[in-house]
Amino acid sequence: MTHHVVVMGVSGCGKSTVATPMSTTLGWELAEGDTFHPEANVAKMRAGEPLNDDDREPWLQALRAWTEERDREGLSTVMACSALKRAYRDILREADPDTFFVHLHGDYDLLLARMHERDHFMPESLLRSQLDTLEMLGPDEAGVLIDVAPPTEEVVARAVAEVRGQVLAT
């Protein structure tokens, strides 16, 4: 049986930082969602322009297709993807209705500080628009909310424990 996990949240929350060791620990294939963006999306974000739903649609469809392909191959996956809106998560769930979301969440100042420390195409100026766009997981969505303030190792351990307890235990 295959399982699919999306590590989600706004820029600076640590999606890739958490998803990478999760995939290694679980032995599942990793997808870095940023690498699926069309060049036009990257250019728009670099210019400080937030993406809209039309910009995100082909990106989300590519991520869904990637998961579907791995599912057909019998491979479980971990994906780092913002998945900010329920509608975006619904597209990702088309590949597997049981997709589990690990929502990494932190306060604005912490996220801004983390963005300041890294080299990434997403400028700090877009953090507010991402937070404004973010729709928290609904009670009917399979997933968990994890605070990113603790050390990374603790966040990863909690995420893996939640996946093992809520996904693999079923």
For residue 104 the two structure tokens come to 């990494």
What's the rounded mean pLDDT across residues 63-84? 97
Cα separation, 83 vs 133, in Å, equals: 10
Cα separation, 110 vs 71, in Å, equals: 35
Q: How confident is the model at residue 35 (pLDDT cuts 50, 70, 90)?
A: very high
Place of tokens 């949240």: 9
Helical pair 15-26 and 152-163, crossing angle rounded to 10 deg? 50
pLDDT at 19: 98
Amino acid of residue 144: V
pLDDT at 24: 98
Task: Say what the pTM is.
Answer: 0.91
pLDDT at 154: 97
CATH superfamily of 4-168: P-loop containing nucleotide triphosphate hydrolases (3.40.50.300)
Amino acid of residue 125: S
What's the rounded mean pLDDT across residues 24-38? 95
Residue-averaged pLDDT of the chain: 91
Cα separation, 142 vs 89, in Å, equals: 11
Residue 62 backbone dihedrals phi, psi, to 5 degrees:
-65, -40
- Give residue 42's Cα distance to chain centre: 17
Compute CA distances 1 → 72, 75, 105, whole Å. Answer: 11, 8, 29
Cα separation, 26 vs 121, in Å, equals: 29
* Dihedral angle computed from the Cα positions of residues 67, 70, 75 and 76, in that order, rounded to the nearest 10 degrees: 0
Residue 38 has pLDDT above 70, yes or no: yes
pLDDT digits (tens, 9 = 90+) for 105-161: 999 888 888 776 655 455 556 778 888 889 999 999 999 999 999 999 999 999 999
Element (H, E) at 110: helix 108-116
pLDDT at 15: 94
